[in-house]
Amino acid sequence: MSDVRTRFAPSPTGYMHIGNLRTGLYAYLLAKKNNGKFILRIEDTDQERLVEGAVDVIYNVLKLTGLKHDEGPDIGGDYGPYVQSQRKSIYKEYAEKLVDLGGAYYCFCSKEQIAEARGKHGLTKEGAFKYDDPCRYVSIDEARKRIENGEAYVVRQRIPKTGATAFEDAVFGSITVDNNTLDENVLLKSDGLPTYNFANVVDDHLMNISHVMRGVEYLSSTPKYNLLYNAFGWEIPTYIHLPHIIKEGGKKLSKREGDASFEDFYKKGYLIEAIINYIALLGWNPGTDQEIFSLKELEEQFGIDGLSKSSAMFDVKKLNWMNSEYIKKMDIADFHKMALPYYEKVITNKNIDLLKISALMHTRTDVFNNIPENIDFFDSLPDYDINMYVHKKMKTDLENSLEYLKASYDALKDLSDWTEEGIDNALKALIEKLGVKNGQVLWPVRTAISGKQMTPGGAIEIADILGKEETLKRMQMGIKKLS
């Protein structure tokens, strides 16, 4: 198996989790770096957890992110079908083979029998109990007669009672597990569908997958997969187990806890390139100080040797910073086009020049979704507390704010050149005349015309966008508030 063939095998159980997307991204990058093939496989054997429309979500995310697969359910390939529920007969055939090879056996025990045995041990939790299955000692001939007679059954993996199974992982190194600690899990369920443990081994072999990339939670199950490979006499792929992505407090990101999906971030106005760039660095280090990567650069530089054993911390602040760097690099026309729907949420005043707002917001935006709360004051002045005029650093208090706001109003009311330059010149002349610091005049003006503590841009830029009439009206309101 010399050619590099990686696979992304999501389950259609809802949205695309960030950790899941990272697995797909790394599998894609590894294939591209080595001129290999990236395969999409849909693992839908857990029928109870399937969510309608989830397969479309998978296709949509791959399309948006540019992770183009070379084979898959939608484009075909030499190793299909690429949907597990369509491979039912294949799993049955290999389960029968495995029984003949001694790597599995037929089990006729009911759930009630297993629950009763669990109860005798005083155990109720799943996984805390190792079932000593009496069916393991039933001959193949006898078992097959019972099956012919219509008896319900599953196929279980036969684990050696003694010895150990060792394997190599590209990230975690050599790992050895005692066989007597491994459960004899079900491989083929009573409905004829396989469990993940069986299907992924059969499919990875039949699809010639060279590198298996998945979450670290599967590390403990890998000896069981290797026992299957060995029983069939198949070549074992290279394993690459990826550490968890955690959030503050050390908890791992989880679908069940509603942690953000790729689509959540995309809808909030994060750029796809920034999301992919950020996810790539959650567990992979390029070995340099470079942090901003295009997908093409990632394809060229990605390598297994840069993967970390440690959990990666998901830091929204870092993602916001990275997104802002990508926004700054955008052409202003492209930025304006993307920002327009966010402007329209809060600005109804047709006299506001939205292009001027784009000039203001382009280098001050980290996430598009944050735009409305930063610019809503352009449409209407919010009610604000007069204590906002007090700024110790600017040496402004209520008394001198009133004085300087009145003086600024007088300096601007007859101004004919209502442009940024004209407003700037008028207020600078006033500051020089009063012999005060810039902030002592500009702070009260900005407060009066925005009604906000923080704004994109200063008094001059805001006054230019608002226009003369609206600016003077708001300044008068500010004077009235302060009087």
How far apart CA 204 and CA 6 sit, in angstroms, is 9
What's the burial of 458, exposed, middle or buried (CB within 10 Å: 0-12/13-18/19+)? middle
How far apart CA 182 and CA 130 sit, in angstroms, is 8
What tokens does 462 get?
């805001």
Task: For residue 452, give the H/E element and its range.
Answer: none
How far apart CA 287 and CA 245 sit, in angstroms, is 20
Are the CB atoms for 330 and 438 separated by under 8 Å? no
| Alpha carbon 415 to chain centroid, angstroms | 52
Task: Strand 164-169: give its sheet, edge to edge.
Answer: 37-40, 5-8, 211-215, 238-242, 164-169, 173-178
In 133-235, which residue ranges form alpha helices assigned H by DSSP? 140-148, 196-206, 222-232
DSSP assignments along 308-358, one per residue:
-SSPEE--HHHHHHHHHHHHHHS-HHHHHHHHHHHHHHH---TTS-HHHHH
How far apart CA 82 and CA 71 sit, in angstroms, is 8
Instruction: Give the number of other CB atoms < 10 A from CB of residue 340.
Output: 14
Q: Is 255 a catalytic residue?
A: yes
What tokens does 175 get?
């790992």
Strand partners, 255: none
* Annotated binding-site ranges for ATP: 255
- Of the residues 255, 318, 356, 473, only one is catalytic, namely 255
* Annotated binding-site ranges: 255
The closest of 277, 220, 374 to 21, measured between CA atoms, is 277
Q: Which residues contact 3 (CB under 8 A, 6 or more apart)?
A: 36, 37, 208, 210
- Number of H helices and number of E strands within the chain? 19, 11
The amino acid at 460: I
Strand partners, 186: 156
How far apart CA 225 and CA 262 sit, in angstroms, is 30
In 347-397, which residue ranges form alpha helices assigned H by DSSP? 354-361, 371-375
So which residues are the catalytic ones? 255
